[in-house]
């Protein structure tokens, strides 16, 4: 039996997240208190008692999901140790910390830098994303190629569920064309930018400088990274893939399929919500999804 630990991305946050961990576990309390110092503001106040709108602030959302994911894993897994890890988009940084490739403190600093750099890109390049349901990946890719503006596949979430990223005009055109090509639905998402697309290039450059200045270690187990869905165990490779992630698609379907092909039978999702459990169930109904 091989165990895979997986970690969600942005969008899974909810008011009250992490308060049960803080109240119940001294290690969790120490990590949350340390995070407040590193970030320079009391993120715990917003996580535990803030409104949904406050949780959607750029400087809050990504660190909050990261903190909940990492702290819940490290304080509740008991004797469990993963044979492999992966994270969806932002969740890849949670995976890196749990696997020992990056320290908790450095991971949090990188996540904050990532969030702020992405926000700057969103303000500079008005853009968005859309979910495409019920269409084969190859057909969706062909539609994107046929549009003159910038629009690309961003998240390969599970068979029949793809998210595309691009300029507002190109996404509008793509949604029409996707439906014409047979998609059940093609709907714009309530996001402020084109994540995992060429429009994030400025953020990639800014984050690259921070990543290059951060110490990465060889992880305790393979990390299946978003950019190629393959396992990586060498610090320099992991670092390069962390940099490439912002402008590359999240290959989640292939990541899960490759983990299963490499022996994963039990998947454990750590973090707010159960989004990844739902996607994994659609990718492969045979694996065990642990509570």
Q: What is the set of active-site residues?
A: 89, 196
**Sequence-ordered list of residues with C-beta below 8 angstroms from that of 219, at least 6 positions apart, any chain:** 85, 96, 99, 100, 101, 232, 233, 235, 238
Question: Angle formed by the axes of helices 235-244 and 201-212, to 10°?
Answer: 160
Cβ burial, residue 36 (10 Å; 0-12/13-18/19+): middle
163, 175 in Cβ contact below 8 A? Answer: no
> Residue 167 is encoded by which pair of tokens?
């300029």
Contacts of 134 (CB under 8 A, 6+ apart): 160, 182, 183, 184, 185
Any idea of the CA torsion for 121, 211, 268, 12, to the nearest 10 degrees?
-20
């Amino acid at each position: 039996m091989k165990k895979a630990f997986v970690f969600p991305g942005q969008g899974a946050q909810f008011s009250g997240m992490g308060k049960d961990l803080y109240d119940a576990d001294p290690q969790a309390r120490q990590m949350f208190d340390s995070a407040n110092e590193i970030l320079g503001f009391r993120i715990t106040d917003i996580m535990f008692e803030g409104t949904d709108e406050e949780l959607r602030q750029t400087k809050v959302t990504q660190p909050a999901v990261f903190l909940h994911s990492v702290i819940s894993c490290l304080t509740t897994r008991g004797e469990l140790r993963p044979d492999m890890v992966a994270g969806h988009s932002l969740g890849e940084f949670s995976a890196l910390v749990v696997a020992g490739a990056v320290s908790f403190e450095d991971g949090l600093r990188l996540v904050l830098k990532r969030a702020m750099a992405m926000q700057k890109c969103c303000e500079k390049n008005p853009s968005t994303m859309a979910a495409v349901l019920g269409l084969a990946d190859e057909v969706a890719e062909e539609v994107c190629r046929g549009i003159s503006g910038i629009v690309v596949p961003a998240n390969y979430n599970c068979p029949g569920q793809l998210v595309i990223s691009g300029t507002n005009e190109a996404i509008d055109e793509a949604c029409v064309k996707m439906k014409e090509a047979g998609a059940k639905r093609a709907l714009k998402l309530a996001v402020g930018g084109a994540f995992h697309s060429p429009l994030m290039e400025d953020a990639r450059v800014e984050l690259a400088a921070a990543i290059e200045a951060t110490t990465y270690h060889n992880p305790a187990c393979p990390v299946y990274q978003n950019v190629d869905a393959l396992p990586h165990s060498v610090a320099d490779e992991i670092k390069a893939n962390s940099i490439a992630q912002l402008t590359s698609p999240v290959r989640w379907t292939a990541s899960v399929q490759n983990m299963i092909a490499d022996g994963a039978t039990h998947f454990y999702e750590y973090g707010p919500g159960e989004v990844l459990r739902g996607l994994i169930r659609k990718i492969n109904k045979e694996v065990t999804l642990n509570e």
